[in-house]
Structure 1
Amino acid sequence: MDTPYDMIAKVPSFTLTSADVRAGEEMPSAHASGVFGSGGEDVSPQLSWSGFPTAAKSFVVTVYDPTAPTGSGFWHWAVADIPVSVVSFATGAGADGAEMPGNAWQMANDARMRRYIGAAPPPGSGRHDYFIAVHALDVETLGVDKDTTPAFLGFNMAGHTLARAVITPWFGA
């Protein structure tokens, strides 16, 4: 499956797994949004990654719905400056105020919350694919401001992404 990131640059892949969500399968309701009334709990899924390039110096994790009815999709979660020594996030790591490893930090998503917001497709909008990605970068930090948007983060990652791992569960309204 092509991803929204492929339009920016096709890069090698590595392995991304989750004990909570699976590519091509419906996302369990715990990972859907309670904040936006989708019956969920806004719990970020467990993620583990391996097989990334040895030249990687940091990671970024993003969760994106390109078909949200906004004209620009919806960024549900973005974590920047994850140390290369970190190769997993536990279930719920994206909670509000959660401590991130090393210098990693959660940026505000499109709801302006510094946390994971679960799947929340508008009623009647059908199935939405959620692109959960781990980006392996060639820099320890992108040096972006703490008020950066996930879209601007992506712009800054474009020339620094060595490889990317993506799993794509879905959720429907």
Structure 2
Amino acid sequence: MTFTLSSPSFIYNGPIPARHTCDDHDLSPELNWTNIPDSTRTLVLIVDDPDAPDPAAPKMTWVHWVLYNLPPTISGLPENVMENNLPAGTLQGLNNWNRVGYGGPCPPIGTHRYFHKLYALDIVLPDLKQPTKTVLEEAMHGHVVGQTELVGLYIRPANR
């Protein structure tokens, strides 16, 4: 069985609805996963955009959301999940707005790709005190037992 990540809001490589972006309510999308590896002790979710600031000339990967130590007993996150509604034990890292929590797509130009990456780890990570994506990835190194992703696309409306 294949470890999978999906959302009722958008399909793989499909458009992300405006309600999940800075152009509307900026709600985190509902995410669901299946078939996590048997040896999973915790899950990590990283949402980022490798096309920043311009897909024609990307210069950086913009991090939108960092969650870690999600319990393997859950099979997803509801839409608009807030810090006080995260599963017990879940910790957050910093996004590129230098805050915790979800920050939706808000591209300055062009169509951007948003990678929702879910990792299964064979350990529970210590409290890394709101790590950046880089610090979290270093802590995960050597402990990833499975990985899946869901990619969504977004281009801002011309009349914004």
Q: What is the TM-score normalised by the length of structure 2?
A: 0.87
User: Could you say which residue in structure 2 is the equivalent of 1:24?
Assistant: 13
Matches within 5 A, 1:72-151: 72-93=60-81, 95=82, 97-122=83-108, 125-140=109-124, 142-151=125-134
Q: 2:7 & 2:113 partners in 1: Cα distance? A: 16
**What's the RMSD between the two structures over aligned residues?**
1.7
Relative distance call for 1:13 and 1:162 in structure 2 (3 A) is farther
Q: 1:102 & 1:144 partners in 2: Cα distance? A: 13
Q: 1:146 & 1:50 partners in 2: Cα distance? A: 29
Relative distance call for 1:13 and 1:67 in structure 2 (3 A) is farther
Which stretches in structure 1 are left out of the alignment for 5+ residues?
1-11, 34-38
Task: Give the aligned residue type for 2:15.
Answer: E
Q: 1:144 & 1:68 partners in 2: Cα distance? A: 29
Corresponding pairs, count: 152
1:133 to partner: Cα distance: 1.4
User: Could you say which residue in structure 2 is the equivalent of 1:71?
Assistant: 59
Which stretches in structure 2 are left out of the alignment for 5+ residues?
none
1:56 to partner: Cα distance: 0.6
1:30 to partner: Cα distance: 0.6
